[in-house]
Structure 1
Amino acid sequence: MLSNVIKSGLKLPALGFESVSQLLVQRLSRSPNTIQIIDTATGRHTTRGQILDYGLNFAAYLRDECRIGSGDVVLFVTQNSDTHAIALCGVVLAAEVYASIPVHSTARELEEVLDVITPTLLVLDSTNYEAMAKIGLLYGIKTLVLDKHESHTSIEDIFLKTRATGSSPSLPVPTTADTIITYVMTSGSTGRPKAVRRTNGNHLAVVAAFGHRDVCPLTPTDVLLSCGLCHICGQRSLLSAVESGACLAVLRCDENHDDVFATISKYRVTDALLVPTQLNYLVKNWAKFPPGYFATLKHVLTGAAPLTAATYDEARRLLPDVRLRNSYGMSESGFALTVHSPDAHLLTNCETVGKANPGMQIVVIDENGVPLGANQLGVICMKGDQVTPGYVNNSRENERLFTGHSYLRSGDIGYYDDNHYFYIIGRIKEMIIVDGVNIALAELERLLTGHKSVVNAAVIAVSDDGHGEVPMAFVTVVEGSDVTEQELIAYVNGQVNEHKKLRGGLRIVDKFPTTPSGKIKKPQLLASIVF
């Protein structure tokens, strides 16, 4: 029995479902004429009844026409859309495994994923079909196109086909709580991709936790902005919207910041996950947005990167009626495992990522695996129903992933205070050593985004003959700003000790390469100075 285990004081609600397919069928059967999904790129509205019918039609096609069986993998390389979301439901209803990577993935990136998960079917987009279908042919994988493309049968066509009666097996195909229903691809931006296994029980636990009245509850009158479906938060958004009856506004993955905020305004979004890079942009460009632009917005959850006190305070000032809360999580934990509680506004330090979510157990350990007490820095580890059982075909990484007590190692350095609020200092991989001293790159990023002219910042480690490695920064700045790189270097160096100074320099860039979830791709920044 481990000591110093922090558990949530909130009870995990019981949804009453054994599987996600049960949730889909039972919830979508209610109020079938109610709008469930809006595709914000096309303006198309789809009702709950249509989603269930289209999803079952696609499930029947997968089983009867494609001859894809239970547990087979269907990999999507498509744009985020209403069709994609409904097709995801169809894969689950057919008891197959849904996986997805961004539509703009390269041929090399797709091939690396195919080596990990060996899908039976590849679902492509009209924009990438010709190139990616050749790779599918090379690997002997069947292909489908999501949207209309020349003479090919599309999934949109399949939705409208009348499914045969007496399909074998009957739909939805029964599964259990332990059945794997999705793979979430991760670490593609920092190394070779890994596939995170997600069970029915994992997904249902996340939906239940976020439906708790003190976490992120939704109502049938709410409009939730969807994240990318290839990311765990996008899958959570879809299932939470279906479970609660809220409308899901599906956003394309390649939208810029202005388009995201325009979507929030146009479709009267009430709830959204906005990553710190988006919030930084919002507060630094507030003059762009007319009065009442965010009138319907009432709840914003943030995460995926550090949120500075300056951005948090300014966002609270500009959006006084919005409940803005920080969170912490990862694909392996099934989205967020901590979130601000309702009393978070009483905290003097807004940089906490909150308390453990319902059903979660968290422990902080030292380098020897010994549990630590309050206010002691160590590795964040977690256990709970929403935590993955491990990676696909990767026993070596699975051995590293879990402790001897079956807690998942996050790879993040942090601590909790006397009131069990958690704080994240940075990733182990983003702690660099300068002259033998550990430096957290996140600290330098927070300093930079605190400058009035800086929108977003990323700091990486570069080799240095004299010091081993030193920090180098990249920033985007407010439109029209005349701040110089040397001014920003001096701004940081004047606030830190010798080890933390930006000896690697600083570059002002037009924009950052980002993942679908909004994280900055640091390896691409490093490549830009190496090649």
Structure 2
Amino acid sequence: MESIVDQNLGEIFYENFKAIGDTEMIALINKVNNKKISYRELFVASLKTARKLKDLGIKEGDFVGIMSDNRLEYIVPILACFYLRVIIHPTNSSYHLTELKHAYSNSKPKIIFTSNDKIGKVVELQNETDYIKKIINFDDNYLDIIEGGAILESIEKSSDCDRKTTAILTSSGTTGHPKSVALTQGNFKFAMSNFKYPIFSYSSETIIIGMLPFYHIFGLLQIISILYYRVKMVILPKFQPVLFCEIVEEYKVPILSIVPSIADFLAKHPIVDKYNFKSVNDIVCSGGALGYEIQTILEKKFNCAVRQYYGMTETTGLIMACILGKKCKPGSIGTPVPGVEIAVIDAQTNNTLGANKPGEICVKGDLVMKEYLGNPEATRATIDERGFLHTGDIGYFVEEGDFFIVDRLKDLIKYKSFQVSPAELEDVLKSHNEITDAGVIGVPDERAGELPMAFVVKVKNSKISEQNIIDYVAERISVQKHLHGGVRFVDDLPKNSTGKLLRKQLREML
């Protein structure tokens, strides 16, 4: 494959698919309905879709939206937009109308791709706005394009696209309203170049599970990278425990890309023991901190490496990773990927800190977003005058170079003169055999400032009491980190699509 440095994304995928030829190498499999699509079929479908978009008057710089769950066809309009240098904007498939309207308020896509189960919301959006020219339904008029449409015969070549926006992704919204993150061709090319050894070990024989939502940076980066590296993916629209385990056993999946909530499932749920996971030799977790206890359980249970990688939408995914073959310290997110500069900065003084001193992790390099679309004030608040993007995460590095995340800058609990990490407390709580999940926040207190309080999901039929949990924590952690605010039992915790705990919603439950 030709170097991606001197090509735009459209050329990269056009030439890559063209080189595969007429072979029926399978690219994607949908586990739910057992449908398959080959690389050749993807290529033809994307060329026909690009031609249709062009015939509809869509041109370079226009926006095209996607609102759908993971499915075989999801990647087709993305590839088509790459060919035409059109900007793609996938959105959360569970959005309500108000959220959808906010997400598209700046990009105003002329075309939106959707599916039968989501089209009602998109039609409502079209009725309440004036920018949607056409809705293309994967289950309806999209089929007319694929079955009878003309093919885009060629694509325009251009080598000056690296600073041009190619995708808009919505930030997680865990700190304020979700923002439209503008990512460039250069951002994605940089990220794709790091989605290989020694961070991931892919070959044409590799099979992975496509379960992370494709509208999320990690899900999107995963699918475009595996298509570039010609890997086979088995798709799940959402996490379904039985189907997940069946895929691992049936396809002998070697690499599991998961989020912390699925790590908890793999570590504790009895259904996992009913399936053959011997093929798994690498577990990679992202989307939130993986606690030491869970990581240790997984390493022993599956007798394989359990690694973490760290990133965010604003940095096109990867910032740091535990690389293959290197033994990272337990709980570490690894070391910076090649080409990335990291600074740990004191949030009060703005001074750069040395080893073992927690501060805000700031990042600089070709992975940093172009801007928050339509929000220059938020862009300036996030990217400083030196070009460092402030992640809002508190972390530190040790002398050996491994980095650790302590917590979100705004999530730290101020108990008297101490800063208490909710993530640390959650790790202790989830190590209890009768606790399946836990979330910790600070509750206001006149004397102490804030008191650590836990929301706990118990194992079914467990008789564990609030005092049992308070005592359990007190036996394992220093006094300022005790659950002075108490414990509340809940059936489940509010999380986003990648399993990240939404502390703001926890506070609203008080």
User: Aligned partner of 1:377: which letter?
Assistant: P
Q: How far is the alpha carbon of 1:30 from its aligned partner?
A: 2.9
Residue in 2 that maps onto 1:18: 7
Q: How far is the alpha carbon of 1:174 from its aligned partner?
A: 4.7
Deviations 1:351-372 (A, max 9, x none): 1110111121111112322222
Q: Any conservation in 2 of the 1:413–1:425 contact (CA below 8 Å)? A: yes
Distance 1:235 1:172, change over 3 A: farther
Residue in 1 that maps onto 2:40: 49
Identity %, equivalent residues:
23
Distance 1:527 1:412, change over 3 A: same
User: Aligned partner of 1:302: which letter?
Assistant: C
Q: Any conservation in 2 of the 1:223–1:247 contact (CA below 8 Å)? A: yes
* 2:318 aligned with 1:336: yes
Matches within 5 A, 1:465-480: 465-480=446-461
In 1, distance between residues paired with 2:264 and 2:326? 20
| TM-score, scaled relative to structure 2 | 0.92
Q: How far is the alpha carbon of 1:291 from its aligned partner?
A: 5.7
Q: Any conservation in 2 of the 1:472–1:504 contact (CA below 8 Å)? A: yes
User: Aligned partner of 1:219: which letter?
Assistant: S
Q: Any conservation in 2 of the 1:124–1:143 contact (CA below 8 Å)? A: no
Alignment match of 1:161 (pick from 148, 152, 166) = 148
Alignment match of 2:299 (pick from 301, 304, 316) = 316
Residue in 1 that maps onto 2:165: 180
Q: How far is the alpha carbon of 1:14 from its aligned partner?
A: 5.4
User: Aligned partner of 1:92: which letter?
Assistant: F
Alignment match of 1:407 (pick from 366, 380, 388) = 388
Residue 360 of structure 2 aligns to a residue whose secondary structure is strand
Residue 123 of structure 1 aligns to a residue whose secondary structure is strand
Q: How far is the alpha carbon of 1:343 from its aligned partner?
A: 4.5
In 2, distance between residues paired with 1:484 and 1:111? 44
Q: Any conservation in 1 of the 2:441–2:507 contact (CA below 8 Å)? A: yes
In 2, distance between residues paired with 1:363 and 1:130? 46
Residue 105 of structure 2 aligns to a residue whose secondary structure is helix
* 2:360 aligned with 1:379: yes
Alignment match of 2:343 (pick from 356, 359, 363) = 363
Q: How far is the alpha carbon of 1:397 from its aligned partner?
A: 1.1
Deviations 1:110-163 (A, max 9, x none): 121122332222223211322331222211123424332xxxx43233222331
Alignment match of 1:442 (pick from 423, 448, 460) = 423
Q: How far is the alpha carbon of 1:445 from its aligned partner?
A: 0.9
Residue 210 of structure 1 aligns to a residue whose secondary structure is coil
- Over the aligned positions, Cα root-mean-square deviation in angstroms equals 2.2
User: Higher mean Cα deviation, 323-332 or 484-493?
Assistant: 484-493
User: Aligned partner of 2:375: which letter?
Assistant: N
Moved over 4 A (4+): 172-175
Q: Any conservation in 1 of the 2:44–2:151 contact (CA below 8 Å)? A: no
Alignment match of 1:61 (pick from 52, 60, 63) = 52
In 1, distance between residues paired with 2:174 and 2:96? 13
Deviations 1:460-498 (A, max 9, x none): 233334433322222223344332333212222344444
User: Aligned partner of 1:289: which letter?
Assistant: V
Alignment match of 2:129 (pick from 131, 139, 144) = 139
Q: How far is the alpha carbon of 1:64 from its aligned partner?
A: 0.6
Instruction: Specify every segment of 5 or more residues in structure 2 that has no aligned partner in the other structure, as ranges.
Output: none
Residue 318 of structure 2 aligns to a residue whose secondary structure is strand
Matches within 5 A, 1:376-525: 376-525=357-506
Matches within 5 A, 1:216-365: 216-226=200-210, 227-253=212-238, 255-285=239-269, 287-290=270-273, 293-320=276-303, 322-345=304-327, 347=328, 349-365=329-345
Deviations 1:267-324 (A, max 9, x none): 4322221112211121112x3234652233232211222212221111111111x332
User: Aligned partner of 1:366: which letter?
Assistant: D
Q: Any conservation in 2 of the 1:513–1:520 contact (CA below 8 Å)? A: yes
Distance 1:14 1:416, change over 3 A: farther
Alignment match of 1:117 (pick from 103, 107, 116) = 107
| TM-score, scaled relative to structure 1 | 0.89
Distance 1:40 1:514, change over 3 A: farther
Ranked by relative contact order (alpha carbons within 8 Å, sequence separation 6 or more), the top structure is 1
Distance 1:30 1:297, change over 3 A: farther
Residue in 1 that maps onto 2:26: 35
Residue in 2 that maps onto 1:206: 191
Deviations 1:155-209 (A, max 9, x none): 233222331677xxx5367572222111110133442111111111111111111
Instruction: Specify every segment of 5 or more residues in structure 1 that has no aligned partner in the other structure, as ranges.
Output: 1-12
Distance 1:377 1:103, change over 3 A: same
Number of residue pairs the alignment of both structures matches:
503
Residue in 2 that maps onto 1:75: 65
Q: Any conservation in 2 of the 1:87–1:155 contact (CA below 8 Å)? A: no
In 1, distance between residues paired with 2:152 and 2:358? 60
